[in-house]
Chain A
Amino acid sequence: MEIRGLFKSFGSLEVFKDFSLSIRDRRITALMGPSGCGKTTLLNMISGLEKADKGTIEASDGALFIFQEPRLLPWKTALENVEIVLETLVESPLERRARAIESLEMMRLGDKLDSYPSHLSGGQRQRVALARAFCLPAKVLLMDEPFSSLDSRLVDSIMKDFLAMYQKSPRTAIFVTHDGLQAGRLADEVVLLGSSPCTVLDRFIVPSDKASRSLADALKAHDRIERVFEQ
C-alpha cells in the first residue's frame, strides 16, 4: 500500500504535511506514535471515513476497521452480528450462517453464538468484533488499538487467536497501538511516528516470524521502540 504526498489540517493545525509511507502487502505493520500525531486520522483516511486535503492512498478500497471498542449491535446476538456483514456478500442464508459460525469458532466463541453482547465479557465482545472483521475478504485491515481496552491477562490469549486467524487469511494490516510489547509480538514491521506534522522517525522489520516469535525477540523490538521515543 502506498501513501503519497498526504496533506491534512484541522483548522490551523497541520497534522499531515507532504507525508508519504509505503506499507508492505499481506504483512502486519505496527504504527506507533504520541497521541495526537495523527494515527487514527490516517486510518480514517485509508478507510474513507475522512478525506485527505491532498495526496493519494493506493489500494484502499474495501478496508475493514477493527475499533478500540467492539461496536456490536446490542440487539443482535454474537452470531447475528457477524452474519449481518455477510448479507450483501453471501446470498444463501445457510452459507452465511456457516461462515459466521466458523469465524466465531476460530475466536473460541462456539458456545456463545446466541448470546447478546450485554451477556458477554469485554474480551468476548472484542472476539466477536474480530470474527466479524475476519469473515470478510477485504484486503486491508485497519486496527485502532483493538486490544488496549482489555484486561492485560486476556490480551495474550486474544492476540494468539487473532494471529491464528490472521495466518489463515493474511491481509495488509495496520495495527495502531501504544503498547511496544504488543507491537513487538504481532508486527512484521514497526513504524514509529513523530507529531505536528506527522513524520516517520524510524521503521524496522522485526526479525523473526511472528507466528513462532519468542518473547525475547518481542522484547528486543519493544526496547528499540522505547529508545527511539526517549530521544
Chain B
Amino acid sequence: MSKRRERIVFALSCLGLLALWQALSMAVDSPVLVPSLLDIVKEAWSVIRSKAFLLNLGSTLLRGAESFALIAAVSIALAVASHLYKWVSVALRPLLLLSKAVPVMSIILLAFIWFSSAAVPVFSAFLMGFPIMYTQVFSALESLDPQLEQMCLVYGITGKRRLRHFVIPSLEPYLIVGSRQALSVIWKAVIASEVLTVPGLGVGSRIQLAQVQLETSRVLAWTMAAVLLTALSDGIFEILLKRKASWR
C-alpha cells in the first residue's frame, strides 16, 4: 500500500470512529451515558480555558517526570551492575517477573495502604516503568558488538573514550526506545493512581471528580488531556530517534 493510500485509510478510520460515536450518542440520547461530539468539544474547550487546566496538567506532568528520572537513574545503574556482575541480573529476576505479573491496580492499592498518597503515583509508575527501561539497557549492554570491542582495544580506544565513542552510541537507540515505552506506562500508572488517591491537583483527580458528578463529557475532555501527554512524549522520542539514526 502506498503512503498516500495508507494516510487516506487512516483518516477515514478516524472519521468512522467519530461517526460511530455520534451515531451512538444520538441513538442512546442521554448526555450522561454517551455525550455528543459537540458536547465533548464544548466541554474540552471550557476545560482548556479554565485556570486550573495547566495546574492540573502540570502536576501530572511533574509526577511523570519525577518517576521517569527515578526510573532512568535506577535502571541504568542496575543494568550496568547486572552487566558487570551476573548475580545482580539473576537477583533482579524475581522482581521483574513480579512487576510484570501483578496487576497495576493491585500495586496502586497496596502503595496507597503503605505510603502517603503523594508517593503513590510516583511509586506505582516506577514499579511499572522500571522493568521496561532496565530490560532495554541491560540487553543493549549484553549485545555490544564483540568485533568492535576488539577493534577499540587494538586501536587504544579505552576507558572514557571507549565509553564516549563506543558504549554510549551503542546504547542510544535502546535508551530512546526504552524511554518512550516507559513513559507510555508511566502516564497510565500516574493517572490511574491519581484517580484512586485523588490528590488536590492532577488529571486523574479531575477525571475521578467528573465521574462522581456524572459529567461524562468532562471525563472525556480530561481523558483527551491524558492522551495529549502520551502523544507529546511519544512525539519527542520519535524525533530523537530519527535524528540519532541519521547514520543508518
Contacts and interface: CB of A to CB of B under 8 A. Distances in A.
Nearest to A69: B147
Interface stretch (A7-15, A80-88, A159-167, A186-194): A80-88
B154 A49 contact: yes
Interface stretch (A71-79, A171-179, A210-218): A71-79
Interface string B143-170: 0000110110111110001000110010
Nearest to B166: A73
27 contacts: A49-B150, A49-B153, A49-B154, A63-B154, A64-B155, A65-B150, A65-B151, A67-B150, A67-B151, A71-B148, A71-B150, A71-B151, A73-B165, A74-B247, A74-B248, A75-B169, A75-B247, A84-B155, A84-B157, A84-B161, A84-B165, A85-B155, A85-B157, A88-B161, A117-B247, A118-B247, A136-B155
Contacts of A88: 156, 161
Nearest to B157: A84
Given A67-B151, A73-B148, 8 more contacts: A65-B151, A71-B148, A73-B165, A84-B157, A85-B155, A87-B161, A116-B247, A116-B248
Interface in B17-42: none
Interface in A136-167: 136
From DSSP, what is the main secondary structure of chain A's interface residues? loop
A73 B169 contact: yes
A225 B157 CA distance: 38
Contacts of A132: 155
A47, A63, A64, A71, most chain B CB atoms within 10 A: A71
A64 B157 CA distance: 13
Contacts of B246: 116
B155 to A, nearest CB: 5
Most A-side CB within 10 Å, residue of B148, B155, B161: B155
Interface hub of A71, A75, A87, A117 (most chain B Cβ within 10 A): A75
A-B residue pairs, 8 tightest by C-beta: A116-B247, A71-B151, A65-B154, A75-B169, A85-B155, A75-B247, A71-B147, A84-B165
Contacts of A69: 147
Contacts of A84: 155, 157, 161, 165
Contact of A118 (B156, B161, B248): B248
Main secondary structure of the interface of B (DSSP, over half): helix
B168 to A, nearest CB: 10
A47 B156 CA distance: 12
A95 B165 CA distance: 20
Residue in B150, B156, B157, B246 with the greatest tally of chain A CB atoms within 10 Å: B156
Interface in A64-113: 64-65, 67, 69, 71, 73-76, 84-85, 87-88
A182 to B, nearest CB: 22
B44 to A, nearest CB: 43
Contacts of B153: 49
Contacts of B247: 74-76, 116-118
Contacts of A76: 165, 247
A132 B157 CA distance: 13
A80 to B, nearest CB: 9
Given A69-B147, A75-B247, A64 B161 contact: no
A20 B181 CA distance: 57
Nearest to A89: B156
B157 to A, nearest CB: 6
A136 B150 CA distance: 17
A136 B154 CA distance: 12
Nearest to B149: A71
Contacts of B150: 49, 65, 67, 71
